[in-house]
Amino acid sequence: MPKRFNDEIKRLAKGYYEGGESPTETERTMHNVHGIDMSAKTIDDWHKEEGWRHYKLAKRELIDNANPNLPFGVSKIKDPVFHDCEAIAKNYCRGEGYMKTGPIRPVIQGALREVARRKEGVPVAVLDYLSKVVLRPFIREIRKNNAFDPRIDIDPERQAIIDAVEAIEADGDEGGDED
């Protein structure tokens, strides 16, 4: 294997490792994202040889610095990445978590898989925050309130705006003649 190619693989692995992924998680990511097969032992060896920053420090730092309550732009969404991930996860939970019985953990795992599938490059801290802080109480609330239709969740304020939109004949809403 050419040295330049090996250096590029090390650089990729280092990014995932120092970003908070364990050697096993880095191995899985390298395979799934880049199609590169390597062992967790190799990654751990590189960490020791090259003096990489330990993944546990990065993970702890990400979790400590994860604050979805910082304001963002005109929309006032606190953290756009977290907001998107939360919406995807909650939507999944509405479909799966409304059943009164059964463990919550598989629903949370499914929601996190859905987030990872639909949103590329989600930070570990976001997934951790979702699993530990957001989803478990959300699923309990859905189960407690016995939601009628778990896939529909439009708050009354948004529904009022939707209902207030006027129909225009040119749009074909009133069955008008379109020539």
56 in a domain, yes or no?
yes
Residue 114 CB partners (closer than 8 Å, separation 6+): 88, 89, 92
Same domain? 118 vs 92: yes
171 in a domain, yes or no?
no
Same domain? 94 vs 143: yes
167 in a domain, yes or no?
no
Residue 58 CB partners (closer than 8 Å, separation 6+): 18, 19, 20
Q: What is the pLDDT of residue 66?
A: 58
Q: What is the pLDDT of residue 145?
A: 73
107 in a domain, yes or no?
yes
- Name the pTM for this structure: 0.45
Q: Token pair for residue 51?
A: 């003096």
19 in a domain, yes or no?
yes
- How many domains in the chain? 2
Q: What is the pLDDT of residue 62?
A: 65
Same domain? 50 vs 99: no
From first to last of its 179 residues, the chain has per-residue pLDDT tens of 556 667 888 888 888 888 788 889 888 888 887 888 889 899 889 989 988 888 888 777 766 665 555 555 545 566 778 888 888 998 888 877 556 677 888 888 999 999 999 988 888 888 888 888 888 888 888 777 765 544 455 666 766 776 777 765 655 555 444 44
Domain span holding position 45: 3-65
Same domain? 151 vs 87: yes
Give the residue carrying structure tokens 């050697």: 23
176 in a domain, yes or no?
no
Q: What angle do CA 15, 112, 89 make, to 5 degrees?
A: 125
97 in a domain, yes or no?
yes
Same domain? 7 vs 51: yes
170 in a domain, yes or no?
no
Same domain? 92 vs 56: no
Q: What is the pLDDT of residue 41?
A: 92
CA dist 113 → 6, 15, 93 (Å): 30, 21, 12
Q: What is the pLDDT of residue 28?
A: 87
Start-to-end C-alpha separation, the chain: 66
The domain boundary, picked from 40, 65, 90, lies at 65
